[in-house]
Structure 1
């Protein structure tokens, strides 16, 4: 811990966030708002892809999230509520799906206004004939790739990071 404890940490964090354009928001919770990375080369070198275990599916429902279902992603569209959830949870709830995916998290803390990370990653995977459904979280980008190609996706992303680190890409 820094000298001065949590108060000093909060002040340093707030000052750093303000220098990078982040706004201070009063909250009941202590949340560190450290701005994400925007430099594309640093984002690619530091993406550290991580494969979550399991099979994930996309489905849509007319109302809210069905009882007993815990999606990892929801998207509200005029046509319905899209849910991304574990395949076994979708089957247990009787939900229909046709796309089974592996879930890769890019562990780099990317800024929401960073330019080029998801485009570069998607282009790399597209070059191998692989689809990539991207969801941006506050801290990380999440890629849903065809389940049968998940290991190949990891290889391609790790190779891309190595090429960027070597100054080749």
Structure 2
């Protein structure tokens, strides 16, 4: 199944969903995921294996972290070669002064924002979708 490439269609169909829980970024040496840990994201880097995991799993495994995030899934199925989605989402969150770490999955994009601002970030993205759908007009409107 091919993902969507049209930016207006992508933005109007964002459907941001806040996943329950608290997520952290941590790293382990040697490239092995510790027992009892089920990452939602892994990234292999020369310095170690980055894991994005539930905070409770990090605590249970004794893994250090310093950033607690909310996990937002954009339910629109974006093509991996779509142009502009990440930039538009980042700009909307930048305007709201919300930091964001983006991970692209095969079917959806996933955003990790400061946990305390997760609900606010979803609202910002819902407003972006509404604006892109033409339901909001005026300054800053996509139309």
TM class by shorter chain equals: over 0.9
- Look up the match of 1:98: 66
Alignment of 1:8-157 (within 5 A): 34-63=1-30, 64-157=32-125
Question: Alpha carbon RMSD of aligned pairs, Å?
Answer: 0.8
How many residues are aligned here? 136
- Look up the match of 1:163: 131
CA distance in 1, matches of 2:44, 2:75: 26
The structure with higher relative contact order (CA 8 Å, sep 6+) is 2
CA distance in 2, matches of 1:165, 1:155: 15
CA distance in 2, matches of 1:117, 1:74: 22
* TM-score, normalization by structure 1: 0.79
CA distance in 1, matches of 2:95, 2:48: 32
The alpha-carbon deviation at position 129 of structure 1 amounts to 1.0
- Higher alpha-carbon Rg: 1
The alpha-carbon deviation at position 102 of structure 1 amounts to 0.3
Q: Secondary structure at the match of 1:71?
A: coil
CA distance in 1, matches of 2:26, 2:9: 34
Higher strand share: 2
Q: Secondary structure at the match of 1:119?
A: helix
Gaps in structure 2 of 5+ consecutive residues: none
* TM-score, normalization by structure 2: 0.93
